[in-house]
Amino acid sequence: MEFYASNTPLLDWTGDALIIGLSEDALPLSGPLTELNDRLSGLLQDLIDEVEFTGKDGSSAITRVGAGASIRKLGLVGLGATAAITPETLRRAAAAAARLAKKDRCVSLGLSMPLVQDDAALTTQVLAEGASLALHQDNRFKSEDKSNGKVNLEQIHLLGLGGHDSSLHTAQAICDGIILARELVSAPANVVTPEALAQAAADIAATHGLELEVLDQEQCEALGMGAYLGVAKASELPPKFIHLTYKPAGTPTRKLAIVGKGLTFDSGGLNIKVTGSGIEMMKIDMGGAAATLGAAKAIAQLKPSAEVHFISAAAENMISGRALRPGDILTASNGKTIEVNNTDAEGRLTLADALVFAEKLGVDAIVDLATLTGACIVALGDDIAGLFTENEDLAAAIATAATAAGEKFWRLPMEEKYFDGLKSIVADMKNTGPRPGGSITAALFLKQFVTSTPWVHLDVAGPVWTEKENGYNNPGGTGFGVRTLVQWVLAAA
Ligand code: BES
Ligand code: MN
Ligand code: ZN
């Protein structure tokens, strides 16, 4: 599939499907659309009348154009009120258009959309993002390729956006990262092991020229990473501590760290997940690490002026004779001791040592992403991630990045009083508090491993996976977090 930023006016475009984004205020038809309607003998107005198309956000329609015309199909995608159009509206509209064209077996699509924020470069970027993410199909684990023999959508022409090829490159880099994250999350735990995550990091390093350091178990022991290694103990698969670094040419403007939870499978450990708890979905427990590596792949291509460290303490939470026992006490790499009252609260144990490692790098800010708590899904549902920080600037920066990215976060409080729930008789803290406020105590636990660096924790347990097609997402891993991270790094630099 190729994108073309084209100067061809919609009236002159020839190809399979011409799809036009129409806001509610664009009706009744006027200007070039009246002319298009006349040239098509009133077909555009007929389509509008037939399906009672009003331009409502999320609506769409498509019809066949008679023989002899310069296009084969004519489609409409509703954008809602003009004043309410955001970059995300256009991502979703482009996704809807690409899906319509694909379903109707079109090889080429001409897409005509209004500008968002009066910015042709941004418009080009978000249209390309929406369409390419919608068209991403992951059939790696199917024995037969059902698309074989069918025609494929091969060209998308973004009409009236000629000259914005660098925005196509930006979109391509971001989608590369998102698709990597999606595929890492969707792949099962017998494929994406800690070693495979490290290999994915090695591939990024080799392709895009980043530095990579992978610490094995002994090296982590030497650094005193007892919390992380406690989690990894029972598995037959060795832990891999991944540290990928992007360095800009010249002196970096800022130094940033992104830390992702990388549990390639979370059985719960000896506090094993019971039937009905979704144990079969726990391959997604490396969604934070997937977003971290996805962001690395994008950032390596976009080359911002900040230095960025991408970190994941990858492991598998399993049971065996070597397993961590409930009640065991672990010592993290900052010397703090943890009574593990629940082996299923393992993500925070791995993150503890990863955060200590990140802070030692002397970075200006740390963002962690983790599929950390079921409680966050209970609170915010599947589409919204939790955001925890005590740093107002960082909260604002992530919120701005997230809005531009079209990803949803909701800030939850770091209520210090709730740390009482983690008090231990024998150690500095327990790893698990009471059920109420479970996402908050998890964030307060992480806080014990960051001293002074501005830090934000993102609980992405809900949005890293979707059962249903939604906008540009297809069932499976969503790549959630990548766009916000990339946006944040570009803006922070
Ligand atoms: N990986 C899970 C959280 C999770 C749940 C992610 C559902 C995605 C979907 C995490 O390690 C976990 O097991 N959390 C426990 C914490 C509890 C033991 C305090 C939970 O949420 O139940
Ligand atoms: Mn768990
Ligand atoms: Zn987990």
Q: If you ran DSSP here, which 8-state letter would residue 458 be given?
A: E
- The answer to whether position 229 is within a domain reads yes
Q: Is 359 a pocket residue for ligand 1 (Cβ < 6 Å)?
A: no
347 CA → ligand 2 middle, Å:
6
Q: Is 459 a pocket residue for ligand 1 (Cβ < 6 Å)?
A: no
Q: Indicate if 348 belongs to the active site.
A: yes
What is d(CA 173, CA 295) in angstroms, rounded to the nearest whole number? Answer: 9
Strands 108-112 and 155-159 turn out to be parallel
- The answer to whether position 52 is within a domain reads yes
User: Which residue's alpha carbon is at the smallest distance from atom 5 of ligand 1?
Assistant: 374
Ligand nearest to the CA of 435: 1
Of 137, 160, 183, the position where a domain reaches its end is 160
Residue 463: C-alpha distances to residues 32, 240, 287, 338 (Å): 40, 25, 9, 29
- The answer to whether position 166 is within a domain reads no
Ligand nearest to the CA of 267: 2
Beta partners for 109?
17, 156
Residues 10 and 124 in one domain: yes
- Model pLDDT for residues 11-40, shown as the tens digit of each residue: 999 999 999 999 999 999 999 999 999 999
- The answer to whether position 368 is within a domain reads yes
- 3 state SS of 417: helix
Q: Is 344 a pocket residue for ligand 1 (Cβ < 6 Å)?
A: yes
263 CA → ligand 2 middle, Å:
9
What is d(CA 288, CA 294) in angstroms, rounded to the nearest whole number? Answer: 10
Ligand nearest to the CA of 315: 3
Residues 401 and 330 in one domain: yes
Q: Is 345 a pocket residue for ligand 1 (Cβ < 6 Å)?
A: yes
Tokens of 283: 């391959």
Residues 328 and 271 in one domain: yes
Single-letter amino acid, residue 112: S
What is d(CA 349, CA 361) in angstroms, rounded to the nearest whole number? Answer: 20
Provide the domain count of the chain: 2
- The answer to whether position 324 is within a domain reads yes
Spatial strand order of the sheet with 60-64 comes to 2-6, 155-159, 108-112, 15-22, 71-78, 60-64
Q: Indicate if 273 belongs to the active site.
A: yes
∠ Cα 308 313 319 (to 5°): 165
Residues 393 and 461 in one domain: yes
- The answer to whether position 141 is within a domain reads yes
Residues 96 and 213 in one domain: no
Q: Among 5, 36, 8, 25, which Cα is nearest to 131's?
A: 5
Range of the domain at 453: 172-492
- The answer to whether position 165 is within a domain reads no
- Give the CATH number for residue 35: 3.40.220.10
Handedness of CA 99, 103, 106, 110 (dihedral sign): negative
Q: Is 439 a pocket residue for ligand 1 (Cβ < 6 Å)?
A: no
User: Which residue's alpha carbon is at the smallest distance from atom 3 of ligand 1?
Assistant: 373
- Model pLDDT for residues 269-319, shown as the tens digit of each residue: 999 999 889 999 999 999 999 999 999 999 999 999 999 999 999 999 999
Residues 176 and 149 in one domain: no
pLDDT at 309: 99
pLDDT at 492: 84
pLDDT at 145: 79
Residues in the chain: 493
- Give the CATH number for residue 304: 3.40.630.10
Of 138, 160, 182, the position where a domain reaches its end is 160
Q: Which residues contact 106 (CB under 8 A, 6 or more apart)?
A: 15, 16, 17, 72, 73, 151, 153
User: Which residue's alpha carbon is at the smallest distance from atom 16 of ligand 1?
Assistant: 345
| Contact between residue 50 and residue 26 where contact means Cβ atoms under 8 Å apart | no
List, as one string, the DSSP characters of 178-203: HHHHHHHHHS-TTTS-HHHHHHHHHH
326 CA → ligand 3 middle, Å:
16
55 φ, ψ to 5°?
Answer: 85, 10
Tokens of 89: 């509206």
- Catalytic-role residue among 348, 408, 447, 483: 348
- The answer to whether position 167 is within a domain reads no
Residues 146 and 201 in one domain: no
The b-or-e profile of 394-405 (16+ CB within 10 A means b, else e) is bbebbbebbbbb
Q: Among 3, 13, 22, 15, which Cα is nearest to 157's?
A: 3
Of 160, 186, 220, the position where a domain reaches its end is 160
| Contact between residue 293 and residue 196 where contact means Cβ atoms under 8 Å apart | no
Residues 180 and 142 in one domain: no
Residues 109 and 203 in one domain: no
Does the model's pTM come out above 0.85? yes
Q: Among 383, 465, 483, which Cα is nearest to 187's?
A: 465
| Contact between residue 373 and residue 302 where contact means Cβ atoms under 8 Å apart | no
| Contact between residue 23 and residue 85 where contact means Cβ atoms under 8 Å apart | yes
> Which parts of the chain sit beneath pLDDT 70?
148
Q: If you ran DSSP here, which 8-state letter would residue 149 be given?
A: T
Residues 115 and 253 in one domain: no
Residues 388 and 297 in one domain: yes
Hey, which of 285, 435, 458 would you mutate to test ligand 1's pocket, going by the most ligand atoms within 8 Å of its Cβ?
285
Relative to the CA of 268, which ligand 1 atom is closest? 13
Residues 355 and 317 in one domain: yes
What is d(CA 36, CA 10) in angstroms, rounded to the nearest whole number? Answer: 8
Residue 368: C-alpha distances to residues 79, 166, 261, 432, 492 (Å): 34, 30, 8, 19, 16
